[in-house]
Amino acid sequence: MKWLKKCKTGSHYTLHEVCPEHGESAVNPHPPKFDPLDKNGAARRKSKGIW
């Protein structure tokens, strides 16, 4: 899945790893603790009664 990334140089977002406008690497603006995959895994384990 692709996330919008924030350009380091400009105050805009891009889907690319490197901003096509500025040639700078774009970074993920979301905080690292936000992990939807882990949340899905926890819900799945809970539904199976593992914990």
**Chain contacts with Zn ion (rule: CB under 5 A):** 7, 9-10, 19, 21-22
Cβ proximity to Zn ion: between 21 and 38 the closer is 21
Q: How far from the centroid of its chain's Cα atoms is residue 7's Cα? A: 14
Reduced to 3 states, what is the DSSP secondary structure of residue 15? coil
Cβ proximity to Zn ion: between 20 and 41 the closer is 20
Cβ proximity to Zn ion: between 16 and 45 the closer is 16
Q: Hey, CA dihedral for 49, 47, 35, 17, is it positive or negative?
A: positive
